[in-house]
Chains A and B, each alone.
Chain A
């Protein structure tokens, strides 16, 4: 059996990020919020402060660990909402066609025309800052690519022999969509989904930067980055480590998506066994 490097590396990185988030209270050296000490402000990385300290003397290592919780929750949950909305709309639009397709297309074009971050901002402005509103705002604004993909897949799959065979065999519309179309388009949807998780992590950073995400002093990778912006020349470790965390998580998600696509394709599965 051939070892799938992308799946293994991507899965490990993503699993590591999740583990770090879950085990943060046990892995962290200090409390990410309370243990500020101005005597230790802006220490560079050392054996005591692995990732250095920030201007308030808080341990960056501990803050990065806790930050994983916010970033991953936002990344996973908001992308799940996006995927569900996108697949439901795109799949039904591609399958049924007609006026419903026109409506969904118009909606998708609208979503693509408005920068999603601006749209998310507007939603946040109504709902107020906080984790829940962040999830809702990002979950409602990034489904258009998934929707496009699902619609295109449904359109091409609809004319496949087995979909027509299913109609002939008396399958209802819902059953055809769930058993015939959905499993056959899952590969690319998963790939887009993992990419979307990465970009949701970045969007969270942007919104936190604007003061609409998770409020300081509680850490998220995005807010840490934005706080570090002013000290990037004097204390680069403030931005390097949260940035690295984002980078590795997004990289892991992309590799994972790649690997999953290979697995979800039954033809490549049998080549392996």
Chain B
């Protein structure tokens, strides 16, 4: 594709309507993902990263709704697409895998059938063909003895195996974009690494772009080429993942990077405590004026309390939203 990005989000605003008033659960969210690119969205619980993902696939349900902005997929605006049109995209062009491999599979249906259903649903295959393809799909996520495993029910598989099945289902139709919402949070650390590696390799092979959503900056920076950090409904910093570690610019990102434990560093010698960010994330209904991070920020000055900082370009593809950025 010539230059045009796969996914483009411009000034997306997500409203939370509690009946009496509307508040923005996320606003001014803009980013773009190129074909085959890996992009990470990082933030604490409730910062708006998961609802942003839901907005992308058209699955925001009341009380949440898209309040403004544009979502373009391959140059086509999709935020106002009909239900049928969105269904065409979901699973077929844009797939998603979830945090909970324990519950994301139908317990009464053999896993092979659940994979095969994707081929029947989106590719118009017959069940016979689809079952054959399901075995291949299961083999591609390196499940041993796939021709026997397709008959297994989800409860007969381990957590790691189930997440492999989820990946097989998500990638069955060769989507252009895979949204992974905390894909490994529920898994053991060793299994986590395997799953991430598998997901990355498969997507690289097929040219599938990944939007990875996580609270784990270390993990995301490892997997993704570019990372956006969200805080209280706004993207505060968007950088290449090497840059964000080397020179985090926003005070919040600095705090996140400092709070990562590192092998062989000061903390390992028992000299200094792991750093933390003081305070808590404000509630959606009580976002502070100005920069939303100002109550927790050591560098905050008067302007931070009154004026929301604009997005400023640091370098090519590197942006930060801070009045005092480093």
Contact = CB atoms under 8 A, between A and B. Distances in A.
Given A170-B121, A170-B122, A179 B91 contact: no
Interface in B201-232: none
A172 B92 CA distance: 13
Contacts of A183: 106, 108-109
5 contacts: A165-B96, A167-B90, A168-B95, A169-B169, A180-B106
Contacts of A161: 98, 100, 102-104
Interface range, B side: 20 to 34
A184 B121 contact: no
A46 interface: no
A162 interface: yes
A179 B100 CA distance: 20
Contact of B89 (A160, A170, A175, A186): A170
B104 A179 contact: no
Contact of A170 (B87, B102, B103, B156): B87
Nearest to B152: A270
Nearest to A172: B87
A266 B102 CA distance: 15
B152 to A, nearest CB: 9
A166 B38 CA distance: 24
Range for the number of chain A residues in contact with chain B: 20 to 34
A162 B107 contact: yes
B287 interface: no
A184 B153 contact: no
B104 to A, nearest CB: 4
A267 interface: yes
A257 to B, nearest CB: 18
Interface of A: 160-162, 164-172, 175, 179-180, 183-184, 186, 264, 266-267, 270
B103 A160 contact: yes
Nearest to A182: B108
Contacts of A267: 107, 155
B90 A170 contact: yes
B229 to A, nearest CB: 25
Interface in B163-177: 166, 169-170
Nearest to B95: A169
Contacts of B88: 170
Interface in B75-99: 87-92, 95-96, 98
A175 B106 CA distance: 13
A171 B170 CA distance: 13
A232 to B, nearest CB: 48
Given A170-B92, A170-B121, A171-B121, A179 B59 contact: no
Contacts of A167: 59, 90
A167 B83 CA distance: 11
Contact of A162 (B90, B104, B122): B104
Interface of B: 57, 59, 87-92, 95-96, 98, 100, 102-109, 117-118, 121-122, 153, 155-156, 166, 169-170
Contact of B121 (A164, A168, A175): A175
B59 A266 contact: no
Contacts of B89: 170
Contacts of A168: 57, 59, 90-91, 95-96, 98
Given A170-B88, A172-B87, A179 B109 contact: yes
Contacts of B103: 160-162
A184 B106 contact: yes
Given A169-B169, A175-B121, A266 B91 contact: no
Nearest to A163: B106
A270 B122 contact: no
Nearest to B105: A162
List the 4 shortest-distance A-B pairs measured between CB atoms, nearest first: A170-B91, A161-B103, A169-B91, A170-B90
Nearest to B86: A170
Contacts of A180: 106
B212 to A, nearest CB: 16
A183 B122 CA distance: 22
Interface centre among A167, A183, A264 (most CB of B within 10 A): A167
Given A170-B122, A171-B121, A270-B155, A165 B104 contact: yes
A162 B106 contact: yes
Given A170-B89, A184-B108, A266 B121 contact: no
A167 B156 CA distance: 24
Contacts of A164: 98, 104
